[in-house]
Structure 1
Amino acid sequence: MTVLRLIDVKYKYEGSNRYTLKDINIEFELGKVYSILGRSGSGKSTLLSILSGLDNCTTGSIFYKDEALSNINKDLYRTNNLGIVFKENNLINNASSLDNIILAMGEFSRENKHKKEIIYDLLRSFDIDEVKIKTKVDKLSDYEKKKISIARSLINNPEIIIVDEPIEGLDEEEVKYIMEKLSDLARSNNKCVIIFSSSDKITSYSDEIWGMVNGKVIFVKEAND
């Protein structure tokens, strides 16, 4: 099932005559992992912002299922339908893992009496033990922060997970763990996982591989090609 669809999308910054994104046409389906590879300056960050509803395209259309993203409340879209894992994780360093995720729960955290139990179960599924759950984020390793950041993106059970540079700075075993977790989210939990990266190490875990060059998205291959 197609969950996101971009039709003839272009983007340029206000006051600029140069398009950062050019004629992008792509569909994203549930149950698949998508790799979007490109060097710095290729347009990956801009496309991530567009897909996440953090910015609007200049021309063209983006649809979440059958509804134009331009007609959707972007805050609700990001809270209920989308999980974002930023390159820098965007965690509050002087708060615990538990508190970081409670803050991401929004209205659900105020209504649910079992929120801590839900978070504990989620973090344990990422091999974060009870001590680390209560530890301030600034005392944790980059690998642990990445796992917590991915866990946080799942707390509201979104259909789409967008991840920016998930394996930067990680060793081989850590890369394997993170990528297997992301793959499992798509294949076992029917999520749409979209990964932006400059590393081709992620491609073996992907169903579709796309490249970004000078603001254009180019299809490279499917996993079974």
Structure 2
Amino acid sequence: MASAVSASTSGQLSRVVLDEDGFVVLKGSEFGRRVRDFAGKGFPLKSAEGLDFCKGNILNDDRVRGVIESEFPRCGLGAYTVLDTAQRKPGFFLYPGEPARQALVVQLWSNASRVLFYKGSHLGRSLQPTNGDRLLEISTDRLPMSPVELVFEDGGLTILDGRLCFQIIHGFALTLVFAAPERLGKFAKMILPDSPDLKAQVDRMTTAKIGFNYEYKS
């Protein structure tokens, strides 16, 4: 079974679970409701509302922020997107052969989502995924481990080692990737409208430990 994280779980304990399993889980009906409402607005990620959603549901959640800040002395948001069943094969954000965890993936799940997590795949040094449209991909017959299936009837939230393999079977996940500085530079900068208000909002959200990999264009 996947390991669940309560509100009182420390970032250090979560790091132990991430080391062993590659993912931790938060279940709660509030996540599914929030994602559903955000989806109803068309996922306005590149807007003040999108930044507010990130702040309110990730940065202001002590459980999530605690895991991120415990993992990295300094990191930045490298990706902010939506993943769904268009992902045809199991996939990774980072190569599992990398010797250290350089990114955490935070996923907020819609209601009735089903996902397969390949527990321990983040340690699979011999796995050789290929480049897919959005993720590194690998065929199931090349994965030596069996997946753990999770069902989020009311939505939920997961935090993954960036090297962990997963596959969405049903539903979708609002997905954020927080990467260490040495890895962040390999992510394409996310584009925001060149708005003084948005710039000020990003500045207000930036902390001593968590920054944002944005570029502004008219």
Shorter-chain TM-score range: under 0.3
Indicate the structure (1 or 2) with the bigger Cα radius of gyration: 1
Structure with the bigger percentage of strand: 2
TM-score scaled by structure 2?
0.26
Structure with the bigger percentage of helix: 1
